[in-house]
Structure 1
């Protein structure tokens, strides 16, 4: 789902982690948006951008019952995949699950459209990559605990 942005020359990334048990896409999406790490981001968005969110809304998003969550809206979905777009239209977040033997491979990726790739973005790119890996690990751990 990020290929379109990559082919346009936008920044894209993709991180993956393997977990030893089956994790459904819904469980991964809910776990991702309800980790302690992501709740900090949600709190900031609530305060700074007037985009509050609740765990119940994350569950609804994961179940396909909601098209908007905090500062994002659903851009696309397919079996095992979800692509979210921020309200400014400048960033995308992609979540995917793929069966990997008895376990599951969990993916988290991002796209940043060219017009937002200025100096501030380049300066924060290292933090973005680290934060993405932290989010993915936290979501995997939460999904395993819930499973």
Structure 2
């Protein structure tokens, strides 16, 4: 599930700047559109818990309809994130504090699709708390990706 960050990944610029970056990927045996993957990612039960916490603690509520609009390029902000950049098959989001990035990408993989999820944490934010939570972050990232893959395959 841990993968190399593709050279054309929008997240690559943060790796080149020395930020912490990670990349996780899963190959699925059929075609999955980028919009379907993005919508599935942000509407899983796992991510809905994160959305609830964001609504409660930082007043950043969100709805599934907004996730759908984001996925289809009709929205630039979603919950605690805003779109930093889009490219074919990719979405790079920046959190409201500017300290983290979330990245989703799809690419062909044989007869199927490789689904990617990655993160970046800017260097100025990589203190002791970050290092202490890194293991949780990596586990949570794997859980999020698996949940999104499952949801995308059920939907499509």
TM-score between the two structures when normalised by the length of structure 2: 0.93
Give the secondary-structure state (helix, strand or coil) at the position aligned to 1:14.
Answer: strand
Equivalent in the alignment of 1:39 = 48
Give the secondary-structure state (helix, strand or coil) at the position aligned to 1:38.
Answer: helix
Number of aligned pairs?
147
Residues 1:140 and 2:149 aligned together: yes
Unaligned segments of structure 1, at least 5 residues: none
Residues 1:125 and 2:154 aligned together: no
Give the secondary-structure state (helix, strand or coil) at the position aligned to 2:18.
Answer: coil
Across the aligned residues of Structure 1 and Structure 2, the Cα RMSD in angstroms comes to 0.5
Residues 1:16 and 2:25 aligned together: yes
Q: Which runs of 4+ in 1 moved over 6 A?
A: none
Give the secondary-structure state (helix, strand or coil) at the position aligned to 1:75.
Answer: strand
Equivalent in the alignment of 2:103 = 94
Give 1:105's match in structure 2, choosing from 101, 114, 117: 114
Q: Cα distance, 1:8 vs. partner?
A: 1.1
Q: Cα distance, 1:4 vs. partner?
A: 1.0
Q: Deviations over 1:66-95 (max 9, x none)?
A: 000000000000000000000000000000
Q: Cα distance, 1:99 vs. partner?
A: 1.1
Unaligned segments of structure 2, at least 5 residues: 1-9
CA distance in 2, matches of 1:100, 1:8: 29
TM-score between the two structures when normalised by the length of structure 1: 0.99
Equivalent in the alignment of 1:116 = 125
Give 2:66's match in structure 1, choosing from 47, 57, 62: 57
